[in-house]
Structure 1
Amino acid sequence: MAEVEGTRTFRAAGSGYDGFMGRYSAELAGPFADFAGVGPGTRVLDVGCGPGAFTAVAVGRAGAARVAAVDPTPSFVELCRRRHPGVDVRSAAAERLPFDDASFDCAAAQLVFHFVSDPEAAVGEMSRVLRPGGVLAACVWDFAEGMEMLRTFWDAALSIDPDAPDEARTLRLGREGELSALFASQTLTQVTETTLTVGSRYGDFEELWNGFLAGVGPAGAYCASLPPRRQAALRDALFDRLGRPAGSFSLAAVARAARAIRP
């Protein structure tokens, strides 16, 4: 099974992810859990848990004993285990979930499906481990318009390198209707889609720039791969596009979310 371009760039340490994307995923986890219907008594599977932002919300609402999580990245699995004692955290891909049929009330994947090699197989596996009537939910960033941090970065990158691997061009399932169409193509019912808007505040531009230098994700990997002169040009282009902020500033992020019911 071919690996989606960019997937390997998440094999960095969890601390690098926390400073780069984790600050957004932590804000997104609550609204996404609301959308997925996670509450007291819900048996939850967090698919592609990363360091555990959504896992934390699920534990807070349902209790650690009712939450399980999987991720294919060993450093994320270990970090999620340390952060959430009592949660069943395993190393696995979304396409091969190591759980019995009908084990969960909710299977949720936050910011994962862009990087899933076989989305149809992943939906099939998530559906398989749900009880009848269980909820399958997923969300991804709207890279084309709504994820301000990444959109501004890639616009800056394209201004100095027309061949920069803009995630809006290279990754799937971030446009309106794509996630819900994926769900509707499977044996699922009551498919709905919405948008969830969150944001993050930076103390200064260097805080934002250091997140890219950590090399996490496609944007970070691209930034870190540049020779010093090109990296400096990218930094200047990004600074200009953000209006050359002198102090703190905020960036918004829009996620597209879809949910469905296993019949």
Structure 2
Amino acid sequence: MFEVSSDAYIRFMGTFSGPLARLFADVGLAGVDETLPVVDVGCGPGMLTSELVRRRGASRVAAIDPVETFVAATAAANPGADVRAGSAESLPFADAAFGAALSQLVVNFMSDPLAGIREMRRVTRPGGRVSACVWDHGGGRGPLSPVWTAAAAVDAAASGEGSLVGANAGDLVDLLESAGLRQVTETELTVHIPFASFDDWWEPYTLGVGPVGVYVAGLDDAVRERLVGVLHADLGDGPFTIHGTAWTATGVV
């Protein structure tokens, strides 16, 4: 789902995850000593990494992702940051190496989310902060929700992303607490993204990125046309604004 070019991912999700990164960094860095290094776990092509670098400086930021194209893009965009290839479930960092570990829109795609959060806790120093966020797919408030709602109307086999880990209220809190974090709190973060036209909004869905991109790519022409027709009728020609809300949980080591 994510073995795609960094450009494709940025065109698909970067429009939303860039603004979300600014809000998420506020949560994940709250109360964390500004001199301590921080790590972006599952960095993708680097939207959150770049925000952390802007706030902390490249020398105090590490990032990791299993997709080589994303690692290369993140490293190129953030010279001086420690950007590596690897998985959340086995982080290549020492115990207590960071003041904060953040994971944006990734927990729901980890092969073992509990192991990933436990690794984030391991590499964060006592008193440091571990944070994760996932779009509210379960509540129908994520930025992709319009497509999944329309898909359900034209295709009985469409399953959406509401069953993924972290996609519902309380999921991330349960996950962080199960990983041994304390003082875990949950918040909502919402972004509002304007689009000039329907085509500008729809085109990134045809790039095959993530579950919804794979779903759209796998549709036969007739079903895809019905899906686009329902969406166009709902949204109009544009301009319009898409709203996206993410669940966020943060806890202390």
- The answer, yes or no, to whether TM exceeds 0.5 is yes
* 1:223 to 2:207 alignment: no
Distance 2:8 2:111 in 1: 23
Q: CA deviation at 1:146?
A: 4.7
Q: 1:250 aligns with which of 208, 224, 241?
A: 241
Distance 1:178 1:144 in 2: 10
* 1:181 to 2:174 alignment: yes
Aligned to 2:194: 201
Q: CA RMSD in A?
A: 1.3
Distance 2:92 2:197 in 1: 43
Distance 1:186 1:223 in 2: 35
Q: How many correspondences in the alignment?
A: 251
Residue segments in structure 1 that go unaligned for 5+ positions in a row: 1-8
Aligned to 2:7: 15
Residue segments in structure 2 that go unaligned for 5+ positions in a row: none
Aligned to 1:145: 139
Task: Tell me whether 102-111 or 154-163 shows the greater mean CA deviation.
Answer: 154-163
Equivalent AA in structure 2 for residue 14 of structure 1:
S
Identity %: 42
Q: 2:72 aligns with which of 64, 78, 93?
A: 78
Distance 2:249 2:141 in 1: 17
Distance 1:43-1:146 versus aligned 2 partners, 3 A rule: farther
Aligned to 2:97: 103
Give the 4+ runs in structure 1 shifted more than 6 A: none
Q: 1:92 aligns with which of 86, 100, 120?
A: 86
Distance 2:170 2:158 in 1: 26
Q: Normalising by the residue count of structure 2, what TM-score does the alignment of the two structures yield? A: 0.95
Structure 1 residues 62-92: Cα deviation after superposition (integer angstroms, max 9, x where no partner): 1000000000111111111111111111111
* 1:157 to 2:148 alignment: no
Aligned to 1:29: 21
Equivalent AA in structure 2 for residue 254 of structure 1:
T
Cα pair 1:146 1:255 within 8 Å, conserved: no
Task: Tell me whether 91-100 or 29-38 shows the greater mean CA deviation.
Answer: 29-38
* 1:212 to 2:205 alignment: yes
Cα pair 2:142 2:246 within 8 Å, conserved: no
Q: Normalising by the residue count of structure 1, what TM-score does the alignment of the two structures yield? A: 0.92
